[in-house]
Each structure stands twice: as structure tokens, then as C-alpha cells.
Amino acid sequence: MGTGWHLWCLGEYYELTQDKEWLKANADEIARVCKWLMNACQKTRKVDAFGNKVPEWGLLPPGTMADWEVYNFYYCMNGYYYAGLNAAGHALQDIGYPGAGDMITAAAELRENILRAFHWTQSQAPVYPLQDGTWVPAYPTHVYCPGPIDNFYKGEDFGRSWAYDVEIGSHHLIPQGVMSPDSKDAHWIMNHMEDVQFMGSGWGYDGYTSDKNHKDWFNLGGFAKVQPYYARTTEVYGLQDDVKAFIRSYFNAAISLLNRENLSLWEHFHNGAYNKTHETGYFLYQSRMMLVMEKGEQLWLAPFVTSNWLKDGMQIAVSQAPTRWGQVGFRITSHVNDGYIEAQIFPPARQTPDEIVLRLRHPEGKPIHSVEVDGKIFTRFERDKDIIRLNPSQSRISIRAIYK
């Protein structure tokens, strides 16, 4: 899946930096890999004896993920191919590279084929029970596995085959852009992972037994129990704008792997690879999402900052954070004992987003009463979401949120 992952990464790099010279210098090689993916998708376009498309029609040929050597049509892996092909295609289109439009079209076709295959396997699987007595449809990991993967591959990969439903399961389709974060499938997946998958015993460490997880579900739940940062559920909560779930998942996962000696992150619970690149990278990725986030054509600032960081006298400051519109900075200072929180925003100068959305969460949960922007009364704010919707600007913006 690294091929798709790398294409996605370079597409995001270009989006953040607009480094056209770098992209032009590497365009031919990027295009070669994109064309390889497009050609590989043709190999599975077969029909059965009745002339119907096979379930894996249009996906990449079987492959493996992580440490396990079981070849199959994994949804997570195909989702990376889609995300990479789509991101690289749009980057190449931006510099007028020949055939870039075909890459974007091929990516859209791959997305539809992934969803078609996912729902086909889902239709073959039993529904899953939740703790409240309701049931949700399955979210299969690969095409020919209509149910929990551990039921089909018992004891594989050192007894952790179930992790392929969790750490690198089909929830990846949400941040990859294949599945909408607001879809029913996305909410079904997250509800079952919270209720069941995150409550299972941790792999190789008795600090997270199922009994302990259920007793202290708030502090020990909310994250995967083999390699937490392989799962991208924290990002899913961010995409769903589920603030409290994001913060809980972010901190619970981080503390489970934190090396107290030097503040690096382990691969597994208190063991495994030392200062693992993957874990450190996704911790930083989630931290960036907490502070700065692109949402369509909107630039969100402090979208998932914990309210504990906005007690009276506290300050949050970000400078030169790269976004698709250019670098952004902001400073939030709490004066809640005096009834207000103020912010200074230094918008990106390269381009202007459609809207800048600032979230200010009062440490006592109080809603915003009124807002002043650059000294004038401002009415575009939402009390129930703690957000202020600001008009785009390339000059400094001063905000004061007043509480009663």
C-alpha cells in the first residue's frame, strides 16, 4: 500500500507548498507510477459465468499489508491507491501535465469500484451487535471475508489477525476520501469499533485487558489495541467534527505509547520499535489537525483544542503553519475570569479561503454570548458549535468572544 500512500503524500506536499519546480522536475516519474496503477486496475475487470462483474472488478490485484502475508483485495489498500492516484492526478493537472485528467477519472472509477466491492461483501456478512442492543452492518476488511477476519484466519500473524479489522480495516476509506464521514456506514463503523473493537484486550500487554477496558471505558477505550496509530479513527472523528471524541481518542492513544524517558513514541505498548516513525508521524498529523484543518474550501483554526488549554491566562499560539492557501498563524488568549477570550489571526497570503472558521471552547462549557471582530459587533457565530465564521481576509483579524 506504500505506493498509493507515497502518491497521496506527495500530492499533499504539493498542495501545502505549491512547489511547482519540484513537481515539474519529478512529474514524469509520478505519472509513470500513476499509469502503472491505472493499468493494474484493468487486470481484475473480469466477469463470471453469467456475464456479471466479479466482486473485485476494477480493484488492484491481490496484495498484502503490514506484517501479514495473506494476499487479498483489501479495502484499506485500494483506498490508498485511490487517494494517491487522485492527489497526484490533481497535482499534475495543476501544472498542465498531459493525461492528468485521465488519472483523475481513473481515480473516480476506482473509488466507485471500491464502494461497490465493499457493499457486496457487506451484504454477505451478518450484522454486528452493539452494547445498547442495536445492530449495525458489517464493515469487511477484504472482498472475500464476510465477517470478522479473526473468524476466518484464527491465530494468524501471532494471534492478532483481528487487528486487520481495526488498525488497517475499512474505516481507512473515510480519511482516504472513498467513504463520506457523514455516511451511515461511517457512523456504523465507528460505533462498533468503540463498543467492541476498542474494548478488546491489548496485544502483548496486560495493561489493557478486556475487563479493565470495560470498567474504565472512558480512559482505556477510544483507540486500537495492537498498534494504535495504524488506526485513523481519531481523524475520522475530526472529519465528523466530533470534538470530544477526537480529544479523547487523541490523548488516550498518545499516553498508551509515550516513552516517559524522552517523550518519544513506542511502536507497541511499552515495547517494539523505539521512537517509531509511523507513530510519531501520525501523532504530529493529529496534532496539526487539532490546531489547523482544511475542510473543503474552509480553513478551520483550533477546531479540536481541549478546553483545558483555555483556562484563564492561558495562551495557544501557532505560527507559519502550512495550508493549501499558504502559511497561517494565530494566537488565542483566555481572559475568562473577565468574561472573554480574544484571538489574533494572521491569514494566509498566497490565496484566500472561502471562509475562516475559528473555534473557541470555554473551559466551563459556556456558550458564546456575543462577538466583536476588529472592534465591531459580529453576528456570524454558532453558539452550539463554539465557532465563529469569519470573512476571508489577508490582513490580521482581531476577535473577541464574550461570555456571560
Dihedral angle of Cα 380, 381, 382, 387, to the nearest 10 degrees:
130
Please give the radius of gyration of the chain, using alpha carbons only, rounded to the nearest integer: 23
Name the band, by pLDDT with cuts 50, 70 and 90, for residue 199: very high
CA distance 96 to 104: 13
Q: Residue 384 pLDDT more than 90?
A: yes
What percentage of the chain reaches a pLDDT higher than 90? 89
Exposed e or buried b per residue across 61-70, where buried means at least 16 C-beta atoms within 10 angstroms of its C-beta: ebbebbebeb
Cell representation of residue 329: 498563524
Q: Residue 339 pLDDT more than 90?
A: yes
Residues in CB range of 206: below 8 A, 6 or more apart = none
Q: For the residues 23-34, what does the mean pLDDT come to?
A: 98
Q: CA 79, 225, 244 angle in degrees (round to 5)?
A: 80
- Asked if 175 contacts 205 with a C-beta cutoff of 8 angstroms, the reply is no
| pLDDT score of 276 | 87
- Asked if 37 contacts 85 with a C-beta cutoff of 8 angstroms, the reply is yes
The structural domains of the chain, ordered by start, are 1-130+138-183 (no CATH), 196-291 (no CATH), 298-402 (2.60.40.1180)
Q: Residue 159 pLDDT more than 90?
A: no
| Number of neighbouring beta carbons within 10 Å of residue 50 | 5
Q: For the residues 326-335, what does the mean pLDDT come to?
A: 98
Exposed e or buried b per residue across 165-195, where buried means at least 16 C-beta atoms within 10 angstroms of its C-beta: bbbbbbbbbbbbbbbebeeebbebbbbbbbb
Q: Residue 215 pLDDT more than 80?
A: yes
Q: Residue 57 pLDDT more than 90?
A: yes
More confident residue, 65 or 189: 189
Query: At 14, which helix (H) or strand (E)?
Result: helix 2-17
CA distance 30 to 36: 10
- Using alpha carbons, select from 404, 372, 365 the residue that is nearest to residue 386: 365
Q: Residue 330 pLDDT more than 80?
A: yes
Q: Residue 158 pLDDT more than 90?
A: no
Name the band, by pLDDT with cuts 50, 70 and 90, for residue 68: confident
Q: For the residues 191-219, what does the mean pLDDT come to?
A: 93
Specify which residues 315 forms β-bridges with. Answer: 333
Give the distance from CA 199 to its chain's centroid: 21
Name the band, by pLDDT with cuts 50, 70 and 90, for residue 205: confident
Specify which residues 316 forms β-bridges with. Answer: 332
Give the range among 8-17, 88-97, 204-213, 295-304 with minimum mean pLDDT.
204-213
Q: For the residues 34-52, what does the mean pLDDT come to?
A: 97
| pLDDT score of 37 | 97
Q: Residue 204 pLDDT more than 80?
A: no
What percentage of the chain reaches a pLDDT higher than 70? 100
CA distance 403 to 368: 5
CA distance 287 to 8: 19
Each residue's pLDDT tens digit, 242-269: 999 999 999 999 999 999 888 899 998 8
| pLDDT score of 206 | 81
CA distance 65 to 1: 7
| pLDDT score of 261 | 87
| pLDDT score of 318 | 98
Name the band, by pLDDT with cuts 50, 70 and 90, for residue 17: very high
CA distance 269 to 104: 40
- Asked if 238 contacts 293 with a C-beta cutoff of 8 angstroms, the reply is yes
Q: For the residues 187-192, what does the mean pLDDT come to?
A: 98
